[in-house]
């Protein structure tokens, strides 16, 4: 199977590692939680971070999520198609927030959403979608008031954190909305926590631990199992690339290892991504040097437009911040 790997994957993984304490606030769209919203900009200033389905909920929180979903389905509303509450709704809301731009004021953000909602939802759904988006803003602000667990690998700490997150969700969304927004994540949460508890339980024998892990796997739906497999493959390939970069491995070494593990097609695709990543880093270095020498004047802004596409320009500042973070951690220059 060819791994689907975006350019700059290694950089994304570094961001994920640096955000480990706050990971539990992340959503499937990949945005960080809004813990910084009350003190900083809302919306597009949040740098994207891939969550890869690796959320780990609490046992009670995961159970509460399951109970909420079961209650909704038992009510008979599952078979009633709602054109608003469809798969991908949460990603659409996140895209709407991203387009709304930066602001530290939720009221201003909601005003912007009113002007943009028609770009993301049909006219017949615009009124409901805007009301839902406004509550989603309030939800994310409330989520930002929660304390992240000090140890994200501690099942008890995650249990408490997920209970708190679940309570906040129920304050803003009804059963059908909850299902559309969070059901997929909740299933992965329950799975991941079950595996974490099995791995961290010192009272289990090796055989009991293996049985617990197998039981967790059996509870995961085929759809979620496929998603997890793809995410695992994605992360494994990214980690391999990061190791190659650290070792300054040549093209022949990379191709030999990748073709043996993933096949020829994937090896060629990953080589292309290597070239794209190298070109991206070269442009970042050129722009960073110019900004250091000339400041953020008109000439620097013109260079930025020449070096980066409109889409890339949205990621430049976050990428430069990451380069600075990596340089500080390794003791090298930026």
Instruction: Over range 311-328, report the average pLDDT.
Output: 79
pLDDT at 13: 32
Q: What is the pTM of this model?
A: 0.53
Residue 295: which residues within 8 A CB-CB, separation 6 or more?
none
Classify the C-alpha dihedral 118-119-124-130 as positive or negative.
negative
What pLDDT, on the 0 to 100 scale, is given for residue 17? Answer: 31
Q: What does the DSSP assignment read for 62-105?
A: HHHHHHHHHHHHHTT-TTS--SSS-TTHHHHHHHHHHHH--BS-
Average pLDDT of the residues in 142-153: 82
Q: What is the pLDDT of residue 247?
A: 92
The DSSP bridge partners found for residue 103 are 42
Evaluate if residue 245 carries a pLDDT over 70. yes
Q: What is the pLDDT of residues 24-82, one digit of tens each?
A: 333 333 333 333 333 333 433 332 222 322 222 233 344 444 444 444 444 444 445 89
Annotate 273-314 with DSSP letters as a single string.
Answer: HHHHHHHHHHHHHHHHHHHHHH-SSHHHHHHHHHHS-HHHHH
């Amino acid at each position: 199977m060819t791994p689907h790997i975006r350019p700059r994957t290694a950089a994304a993984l570094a961001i994920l590692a640096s955000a480990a304490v706050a990971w539990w606030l992340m959503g499937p769209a990949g945005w960080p939680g809004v813990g910084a919203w009350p003190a900083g900009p809302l919306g597009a200033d949040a740098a994207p971070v891939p969550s890869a389905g690796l959320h780990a909920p609490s046992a009670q929180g995961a159970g509460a999520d399951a109970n909420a979903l079961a209650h909704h389905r038992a009510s008979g509303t599952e078979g009633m198609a709602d054109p608003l509450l469809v798969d991908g709704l949460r990603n659409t809301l996140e895209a709407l927030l991203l387009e709304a731009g930066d602001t530290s004021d939720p009221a201003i953000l909601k005003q912007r959403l009113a002007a943009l909602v028609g770009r993301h939802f049909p006219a017949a759904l615009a009124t409901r979608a805007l009301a839902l988006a406004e509550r989603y803003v309030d939800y994310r602000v409330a989520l930002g008031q929660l304390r992240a667990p000090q140890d994200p690998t501690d099942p008890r700490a995650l249990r408490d954190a997920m209970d708190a997150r679940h309570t906040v969700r129920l304050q803003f969304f009804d059963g059908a909305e909850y299902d559309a927004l969070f059901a997929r994540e909740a299933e992965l949460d329950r799975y991941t926590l079950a595996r974490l508890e099995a791995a961290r339980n010192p009272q289990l024998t090796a055989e009991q631990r293996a049985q617990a892990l197998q039981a967790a796997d059996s509870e995961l739906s085929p759809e979620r199992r496929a998603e997890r497999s793809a995410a695992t493959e994605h992360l494994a390939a990214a980690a391999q690339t990061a190791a190659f970069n650290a070792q300054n491995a040549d093209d022949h070494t990379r191709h030999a290892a990748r073709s043996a593990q993933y096949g020829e097609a994937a090896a060629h695709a990953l080589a292309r991504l290597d070239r794209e990543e190298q070109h991206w880093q070269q442009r970042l270095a050129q722009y960073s040097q110019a900004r250091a020498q000339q400041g953020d004047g008109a000439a620097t802004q013109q260079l930025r437009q020449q070096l980066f596409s409109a889409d890339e320009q949205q990621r430049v500042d976050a990428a430069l911040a990451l380069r600075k973070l990596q340089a500080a951690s390794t003791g090298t220059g930026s």
